[in-house]
Amino acid sequence: MADQAFVTLATTDSYARGAMVLGKALRNNNTSKKLVALIGPHVSEPCQSVLKRIYDEVKLVDVLDSGDTAHLAMMKRPDLGVTITKLHCWTLTHYSKCVFMDADTLVLSNVDELFEREELSAAPDPGWPDCFNSGVFVFRPSVETYGKLLQFCTEHGSFDGGDQGVLNGFFNDWATADISKHLPFIYNLSSIAIYTYLPAFKQYGGNAKVVHFLGKTKPWSYTFDPKAKRLLGGEQEFTSHPTFLLDWWTLYASAVVPMLREQYGDQPFHSGCVEGEGSFSQEVKPQPSSKERKEQWEQGQADYMGMDSFDNIKRRLDTFLK
Ligand code: UDP
Ligand code: GLC
Ligand code: MN
């Protein structure tokens, strides 16, 4: 269907890798829909090139930011203000209907049947099931709706600082009006649910069609040994079900890393894969210059998992205090 598309968003190279895996998984499961990636200007050239090989359309958008530190702090996710950028998906008016999917989701089978649903269809949020989770939703692009959403943001803000708060405020009858707009949980199985309701996961988890690596720790927060098919967690806890994480890494290592290698050419890059042959030690993560880092901070693009992690900031503050 040329006028229907799956849409995702990536404003950083890390999320772009998530988008690459998601796009590959959609293709491997023979979707008949178009694939669109919205990207921010900080996604590097090589990553943009890989996205262009996987997606039908890669669209550069302005990074919007709620700047709502108070609400974001409540969620312990200072990085999620930029998720408001997701609202740009309503401007894709050359499609009549779309399914938005977070870059940290992975499809496990063909989910084209989602296009039979209407705006705004989504699955319940595991933390507050009267809200929908905005990691997977069906929508109809419309300049009018986009305008109204922005106006809603300006007038009411977002109760969680990110897009999910805005969207639940705007589509505020989702919980009660029309049960057909409630997607089954198997279309947005948050990895968190595995721990909060293990017996249900054991009973129904095998039917999962989309897994969502919701939360601070993402698949790309780990490293992976492809030969041993083993995840190396470092200091981070394993917050997702290891099987889904392995699915993500197996697809990333086999289908995405070769494309990244081609696009990076002689430039060093860190695939996240630790390989016996010592290729890991050859891969060095490029350090941004302090000017680039400053610019990224100003754009709200701190490297929270790396150089700008809480531990590093605390260490720096401790040296001043001493
Ligand atoms: N996102 C992004 N850059 C960011 C943070 C988020 O592009 O710095 C996009 C990406 O598509 C991501 C979505 O916004 O999947 C929502 O953020 P995230 O998945 O981290 O939120 P969670 O599902 O963990 O609450
Ligand atoms: C959520 C959703 C995510 C959204 C974020 C911020 O937990 O999973 O898609 O961007 O909240 O509102
Ligand atoms: Mn997500």
- Using left for φ > 0, alpha for ψ between -120 and 50, and beta otherwise, residue 191 falls in alpha
Burial 228-258 (b: 16+ CB within 10 A, else e): eeebeeeeeeebbbeebbebbbebbbebbbe
Total-model pTM: 0.84
Question: Beta 97-101 vs 4-10: how paired, if at all?
Answer: parallel
Q: Which ligand is the nearest neighbour of the Cα of 134? A: 2
**Nearest C-alpha neighbor of 43 from the set 306, 301, 235:** 301
Position 79 pLDDT exceeds 60: yes
> Residue 11 CA: which ligand 1 atom is closest?
7
- Share above pLDDT 90 across residues of the chain, in percent, rounded to a whole number: 61
On the question of pLDDT at 213 being above 80, the answer is: yes
Measured from the Cα of 164, ligand 1's closest atom is 25
Name the CA radius of gyration of the chain, rounded. Answer: 19
Asked if residue 97 lies in contact with residue 82, where contact means CB atoms within 8 angstroms, the answer is: no
Residue 107 Cβ inside 6 Å of ligand 2? The answer reads no
> For residues 233 and 111, which has the higher predicted lDDT (pLDDT)?
111
Distances (CA, A) of 58 to 36, 38, 215: 6, 6, 25
Q: Looking at the CA of 162, which ligand is closest?
A: 2
Q: Which fold has domain 4-190?
A: Spore Coat Polysaccharide Biosynthesis Protein SpsA; Chain A (3.90.550)
What is the Å distance from ligand 3's center to 133 Cα? 9
Tell me which residue has its CA closest to atom 11 in ligand 2. Answer: 164
Once rounded to an integer, what is the mean pLDDT over residues 169-197?
94
58 exposed, middle or buried (CB, 10 Å; 0-12, 13-18, 19+)?
Answer: buried
Pairing label, strands 4-10, 34-39: parallel
CATH 3.90.550.10 in the chain is located at 4-190
75 CA from centroid of ligand 2 (Å): 10
